[in-house]
Amino acid sequence: MFENLYFAKYRITFYPEESFTLPEYKGSMLRGSLGHALKKIACALKKNTCIQCPLIEKCAYSICFETPIPKNSEIMKNDNRAPHPYILEPPFESKQQYEIGEPFVCTLTLVGKAHEFLPHFICTLMVMGEQGFGKDRGKAKLITVEQIGRNGNWEIIFDPEKNEYTGKPHFLTEKDIREKYNQLKNYSTYKITYLTPTRIKIKDKFASDGEIKTIIVHLIRRLTLLQYFFCEGEIKKNLSQVIEIARNQLPLSSNFYWKKWLRYSSRQKTKLSMGGFVGEVIYKELPAELLELLIWGENLHIGKGTVFGMGKYEIQPLKD
């Protein structure tokens, strides 16, 4: 269904050289640190805003953080931004205090042509560690950058000690999604667990659950736009049948609640509410079209705030 869509997934490990304290949910802090460091590295003309810059469609920072609509786009011409082509997943643990030498691990996903900026991101990660994390500004050393390889295992792709790449980027494609689908298709019951706050807006209100009928339209739209803007794919049409199938899916059970989360926006100089639903839903059997779409979303998240790691869910088959 999304034959042109592809992405690469990297695991980044820091070792603190000084102790530091982080908020319980670390996504906003990491994304802010990444953005400030990447702009310092990538910005060639030091303009106040990307929109004034002639390099807006070429710069690593503007493409990944501002993500302008290309001038030759056939869609969204009246919109300011396209979906961002990266996902930064923080450590999903409640721990906040990190001591010297204690691993601090996060995950970075780059979609489509955004992988061209991998060297920019690696330099940025080094700068992030040197600038320090949290209010303490505790410094940390970048130890390894790994990628998910062809065998599904993590493989080192960049060695900071030697300052060299140890392999070429490996992309996950529709083939990998199909392989995961083939592993799951013979089960009859599935649990979908939303691990981080998920924000999906429907008619000016945020959805309160992650049932398939709630998310599928938004998931199709997200995958379609990522493929169109970053993977040179066509806009998918005539998906009304898939949407109708999703609307008719009734869960065996569900349990959702709203998780509050406040983040500080340095751009707006204020705290913003970024709460979303978390929880789980169980289905008895899932049509092939929906299961494949859900596997894409499992990798690329859903809803608003995906760059912070929000909208992350997992699909787990259950034994009858």
What span, in angstroms and rounded, lies between the C-alpha atoms of 120 and 59?
A: 10
Are the beta carbons of 229 and 260 closer than 8 angstroms? no
Residue that the structure tokens 């995958």 belong to: 223
pLDDT of residue 266: 64
b/e burial code for range 84-100 (CB count within 10 A of at least 16 → b): bbbbbbbbeeeeeebee
Residue span(s) of the chain under CATH 3.30.70.1890 come to 7-165
Q: Terminus-to-terminus CA distance in the chain, angstroms?
A: 29
Which residues neighbour 162 within 8 Å (Cβ) at sequence distance 6 or greater?
none
Fold of 174-318: Alpha-Beta Plaits (3.30.70)
Are the beta carbons of 98 and 109 closer than 8 angstroms? no
- pTM of the full structure: 0.94
What span, in angstroms and rounded, lies between the C-alpha atoms of 315 and 228?
A: 26
pLDDT tens digits for 165-191? 998 889 999 999 999 999 999 999 999
DSSP lists the bridge partners of residue 265 as 270
Residue span(s) of the chain under CATH 3.30.70.1900 come to 174-318
Which residues neighbour 256 within 8 Å (Cβ) at sequence distance 6 or greater?
194, 208, 209, 210, 277, 278, 279, 280, 281
Fold of 7-165: Alpha-Beta Plaits (3.30.70)
Are the beta carbons of 41 and 123 closer than 8 angstroms? yes
Kindly report the backbone phi and psi dihedral angles of residue 289, in degrees, each rounded to the nearest multiple of 5, phi listed first: -60, -40
Return the number of other C-beta atoms located less than 10 Å from residue 163's C-beta: 9
pLDDT of residue 51: 82
Q: How many residues does the chain have?
A: 320
Are the beta carbons of 141 and 15 closer than 8 angstroms? yes
Sequential pLDDT tens for the chain (320 residues)? 899 999 999 999 999 999 999 988 898 889 999 999 999 999 888 767 888 888 888 899 999 999 999 888 989 988 888 999 999 999 988 889 999 989 999 999 999 999 999 999 999 999 999 999 988 899 999 999 999 988 889 999 999 999 999 988 899 999 999 999 999 999 999 999 999 999 999 988 999 999 999 999 999 999 999 999 999 888 767 788 999 999 999 999 999 999 988 776 666 667 777 889 999 999 998 999 999 999 999 999 999 999 999 999 999 999 86
